[in-house]
C-alpha cells in the first residue's frame, strides 16, 4: 500500500515528463502556489484537485519538485499499479488503495494507521475527491471515503492543524478525449495496462494547448471542526456523534468541490464550445457565434472569473485562433454560405465539445436558469423558488451553491441583466445576446432527464437491471432525436442518465435494489412515487 520514494524512479519519471511534455502541451501556468508554500512550512497539507486526466498526477508532482517542495503522497487506485508504471508511480509518491474495503478489517486498520503516520510526520498528501476522472468535463459529486479517513486520522490528535487545498487543473484539450467520448456513448472502460499504454501512443501526435493550475485558499480542518473536535474524539463510536460527523464531512466535501470550481479558469475552448452547443441548431453564422461568445465572456468577467491568456487573445481577435484550433482538431468546421461563414459542429463531435463546455458550466448555472425563468415569464417574486427547484433537481450534476448564497447570486445576475439591457422592466429581452447565449446551455441536461423519466414511466416489466435500463434510455434518446422531441445529441450520455436515475430514486419514483458481491449489481423497480412521474414529465417538458 505505502508509497516508497525512490530517487531513481523519480528521476525516470522526471526524464519522461520533460521528454513528453513539450510534445503535448504548449505551456504550464500556475496561480496561487504561494498559498500552499506558506501552509507547508507549518502544517500537513492535503491537495484536493479536480480529476480530468491521468496527467493530473504528474503535473502536481512536477510543480512541487521544480519549486523545491516535497512532492505529495498521492492516493491512487489499484488500476494504476500495473507494470511497469506501478513501481514508477510508487517510487514517485503514489500509494495504491482499493476502491472498497469495508469488509476487510485488517486492510482498514492498516490504511488508518498509514494516514495517521502521514499526518503526524507532516507529509503533503493528494487525493481526488471525485473518486475517478470525470468523463463529462464537469466536476463529479464527492466520494467521501478518503475525506472521512483523513478527518478520522486527524482526530487522533497527532497534529494541531491540517489544511486542505482545493485546486483546479484546466486543459486546452485532454489526451483522453476520445476514450471519454467512447465511454459516455456506451462503450466499456478500457482497463489500464501496458497494452493500453502502448496503444495510447497516438495521443503524442496531437497538441493539447496550455495547462493552468489554480490553487484556492487553504481550508483549516481545525477551523472547520471548531468545538466539535473534542466532541468527535470523545464520542467516537456513538451513533449520534458519528451521524453528526458524517454530516460535517459531507458539507466539507461539497465545500471543497465548490472551491475547486471557484478556482477554475475559463479558456477559449470552453467558451467556444458553450457558444456553439447552446445555439438552437447544429450550425450558426460566424456573427452569431461571436456575439454569443462575447456575451458569455461578459458574464465571466462580471463574476471575476480568471480568463486564460488564450481566451483574452481570442476575445481581441474575434476567435480567429480558437476557431482554427477547433477546426484543426476536427471539432468544428467552417462552411461557406452566400451570407458569410457558417460554423457547424458535426453530430459525432458534440460529445467531445460538451466535455469542454462542462469545464465552465458552473459559472453559467444560475444565469442559465434565470434566463429560463424569465423566458417562462416567472414573476420576480417566484424567481428564487423556480431557480432553487431546478438546482435541487440537478443536485447529482452540480455541487450546488449554498442556500444562503443563492439569493445573492440571483440578485447579482439580475443586476447584470438589467445593466446590460437583457431585461426591460421585469421581462427578458428575447433577442439580447446574453439571453440568447444562456438559454440553451442546460438543454442537454433537461432533455436527458426528460427522456430518462419517460423511459422509466413506460417500462412494463420489473425489476430491470440498471445497465439494461440505461441502454433503453440511450435508445429512446435516439428515437426522440429523430422525432424532433429533443435536439441536443450530447444529452445521450450514460453519465447523465445515471445521475438522472439516482435523482429519480431520491424522489421515490424508482427503487434501487443492490445485489451481487459488494452490492455492485443494481436492479431497478417502481418506487412509492412512481405514479407521480407524469407530473415530473410535464414539468420537464415545458
Q: What is the pLDDT along the chain (542 residues), one digit of tens a residue?
A: 677 777 787 788 888 888 889 999 999 999 999 999 989 989 999 999 999 998 998 899 999 988 999 999 999 887 777 767 778 888 778 888 877 777 778 888 888 999 999 999 999 999 999 999 999 999 999 999 999 999 999 999 999 999 999 999 999 999 999 999 999 988 877 765 545 554 566 777 788 999 999 999 999 999 999 999 999 998 888 999 999 999 999 999 999 999 999 999 999 999 999 999 999 999 999 999 999 999 999 999 999 999 999 999 999 999 999 999 999 999 999 998 888 899 999 999 999 999 999 999 999 999 999 999 999 999 999 999 999 999 999 999 998 877 778 999 999 999 999 999 999 999 999 999 999 999 999 999 999 999 999 999 999 999 999 999 999 999 999 999 999 999 999 999 999 999 999 999 999 999 999 877 666 789 999 999 999 999 999 999 97
Query: Would you say residue 74 lies in a domain?
Result: yes
Is 433 within the bounds of a domain?
Answer: yes
Residues 44 and 94 in one domain: yes
What is the structure's pLDDT at 198?
Answer: 47
Say what the pLDDT of residue 192 is. 59
Same domain, 65 and 146: yes
1 in a structural domain? no
In angstroms, rounded to a whole number, what is the distance separating the alpha carbons of residues 452 and 491? Answer: 11
Query: Of the candidates 198, 205, 199, 208, which has an alpha carbon nearest to the alpha carbon of residue 177?
Result: 208
Whether residues 191 and 81 share a domain: the answer is yes
Q: Give a yes or no: residue 2 inside a domain.
A: no
Q: Is 258 helix (H, G, I), strand (E, B) or coil?
A: helix
Ramachandran bin of 77, using left for φ above 0, alpha for ψ from -120 to 50, beta for the remaining angles: beta
Give the pLDDT of residue 194. Answer: 46
Given 214, 240, 263, the domain boundary residue is 263
Q: Is 136 left (phi over 0), alpha (psi -120 to 50) or beta?
A: alpha
Distance CA 349, CA 332 (A): 8
Cell of 225: 471542526
Task: Name the one residue in this structure whose C-alpha cell is 407524469.
Answer: 534
What's the number of domains the chain is made of?
3
* 12 found inside a domain: yes
Give me the helices (H) in 319-462, please. Answer: 320-328, 350-357, 365-375, 383-393, 403-420, 433-439, 443-458
Q: Domain check: are 117 and 92 in the same one?
A: yes
Residue 156: inside a domain, yes or no?
yes
- Residue finishing a domain among 420, 439, 458: 439
Q: Contact, 62 vs 126, CB < 8 A?
A: no
Residues 145 and 65 in one domain: yes
Task: Give the rounded distance of the alpha carbon of 520 from its chain centre.
Answer: 23
Q: Are residues 426 and 516 in the same domain?
A: no
Phi, psi of 164 (to 5 degrees): -90, 135
- Is residue 273 situated within a structural domain? yes
Q: Assess whether 433 and 475 both reside in one domain.
A: no
Query: Could you tell me the CATH number of the domain that includes residue 470?
Result: 1.10.10.10
Q: Which residues of 294-329 are buried (b: 16+ CB within 10 A; e: fewer)?
A: bbbbbbbebbebbbbebbeebbeeebeebbebbeeb
359 and 331, same structural domain?
yes
Q: Cα dist. 291→281, 284, 349, 370, 435 in Å?
A: 16, 11, 22, 20, 11
337 has which bridge partners? 340
Give me the pLDDT at residue 517, please: 66
The pLDDT of residue 416 is: 98
Residues 100 and 227 in one domain: yes
Is 469 found in the same domain as 361?
no
pLDDT at 519 (0 to 100): 66
Residues 13 and 86 in one domain: yes
- The per-residue pLDDT for 97 is 83
54 lies in a domain?
yes
Long-range pairs, 112-115, Cβ under 8 A, ≥24: 112/149, 112/152, 112/153, 114/1, 114/2, 115/149, 115/150, 115/153
Q: In 10 A of CB 292, how many CB atoms?
A: 24
Among 226, 241, 263, residue at a domain's last position: 263
Residues 302 and 258 in one domain: no
CATH number at residue 235: 3.40.1130
Q: What's the domain range around 425?
A: 265-439
Amino acid at each position: 500500500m505505502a508509497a516508497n520514494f525512490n530517487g531513481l524512479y523519480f528521476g525516470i519519471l522526471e526524464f519522461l515528463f520533460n521528454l513528453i511534455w513539450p510534445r503535448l502541451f504548449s505551456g504550464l501556468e500556475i496561480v496561487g502556489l504561494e498559498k500552499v508554500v506558506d501552509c507547508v512550512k507549518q502544517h500537513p497539507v492535503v491537495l484536493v484537485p479536480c480529476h480530468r486526466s491521468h496527467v493530473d498526477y504528474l503535473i502536481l508532482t512536477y510543480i512541487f519538485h521544480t519549486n523545491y517542495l516535497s512532492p505529495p503522497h498521492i492516493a491512487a487506485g489499484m488500476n494504476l499499479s500495473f507494470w511497469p508504471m506501478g513501481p514508477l508511480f510508487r517510487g514517485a509518491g503514489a500509494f495504491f488503495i482499493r476502491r472498497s474495503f469495508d469488509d476487510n478489517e485488517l486492510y482498514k486498520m492498516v490504511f488508518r494507521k498509514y494516514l495517521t503516520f502521514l499526518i503526524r510526520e507532516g507529509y503533503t498528501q493528494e487525493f481526488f475527491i471525485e473518486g475517478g476522472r470525470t468523463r463529462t468535463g464537469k466536476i463529479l459529486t464527492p466520494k467521501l471515503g478518503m475525506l472521512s479517513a483523513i478527518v478520522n486520522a486527524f482526530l487522533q490528535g497527532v497534529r494541531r492543524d491540517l489544511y486542505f487545498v482545493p485546486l483546479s487543473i484546466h486543459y486546452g484539450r485532454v489526451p483522453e478525449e476520445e476514450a471519454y467520448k467512447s465511454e459516455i456513448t456506451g462503450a466499456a472502460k478500457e482497463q489500464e495496462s501496458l497494452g493500453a499504454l502502448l496503444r495510447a501512443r497516438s495521443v503524442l501526435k496531437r497538441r493539447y494547448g496550455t495547462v493552468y493550475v489554480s490553487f484556492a485558499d487553504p481550508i483549516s480542518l481545525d477551523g472547520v471542526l471548531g468545538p466539535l473536535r473534542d466532541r468527535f474524539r470523545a464520542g467516537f463510536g456513538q451513533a449520534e456523534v458519528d451521524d453528526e460527523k458524517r454530516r460535517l464531512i459531507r458539507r466539507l466535501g461539497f465545500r471543497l468541490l465548490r472551491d475547486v470550481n471557484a478556482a477554475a479558469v475559463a479558456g477559449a475552448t470552453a467558451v467556444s464550445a458553450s457558444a456553439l452547443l447552446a445555439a438552437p441548431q447544429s450550425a450558426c453564422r460566424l456573427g452569431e457565434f461571436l456575439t454569443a461568445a462575447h456575451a458569455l465572456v461578459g458574464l465571466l468577467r462580471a463574476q471575476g472569473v480568471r480568463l486564460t491568456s488564450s481566451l483574452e487573445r481570442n476575445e481581441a481577435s474575434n476567435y480567429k485562433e480558437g476557431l482554427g484550433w477547433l477546426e484543426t482538431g476536427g471539432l468544428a468546421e467552417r462552411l461557406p454560405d452566400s451570407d458569410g461563414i457558417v460554423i457547424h459542429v458535426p453530430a459525432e463531435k458534440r460529445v467531445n465539445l460538451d466535455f469542454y463546455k462542462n469545464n465552465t458550466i458552473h459559472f453559467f448555472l444560475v444565469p442559465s436558469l434565470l434566463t429560463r425563468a424569465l423566458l417562462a415569464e416567472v414573476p420576480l417574486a417566484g424567481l428564487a423558488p423556480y431557480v432553487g427547484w431546478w438546482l435541487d433537481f440537478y443536485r447529482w450534476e452540480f455541487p450546488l451553491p449554498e442556500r444562503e448564497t443563492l439569493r445573492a447570486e440571483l440578485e447579482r445576475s439580475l443586476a447584470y441583466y438589467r445593466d446590460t439591457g437583457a431585461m426591460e422592466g421585469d421581462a427578458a429581452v428575447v433577442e439580447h445576446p446574453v439571453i440568447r447565449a444562456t438559454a440553451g446551455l442546460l438543454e442537454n441536461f433537461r432533455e436527458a432527464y426528460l427522456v430518462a423519466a419517460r423511459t422509466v414511466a413506460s417500462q412494463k416489466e420489473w425489476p430491470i437491471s440498471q445497465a439494461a435500463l440505461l441502454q433503453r434510455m440511450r435508445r429512446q434518446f435516439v428515437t426522440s432525436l429523430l422525432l424532433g422531441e429533443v435536439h441536443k445529441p450530447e444529452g445521450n450520455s450514460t453519465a447523465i442518465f445515471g445521475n438522472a436515475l439516482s435523482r429519480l430514486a431520491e424522489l421515490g419514483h424508482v427503487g434501487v435494489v443492490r445485489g451481487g458481491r459488494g452490492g455492485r449489481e443494481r436492479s431497478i423497480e417502481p418506487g412509492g412515487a412512481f405514479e407521480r412521474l407524469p407530473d415530473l414529465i410535464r414539468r420537464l417538458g415545458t
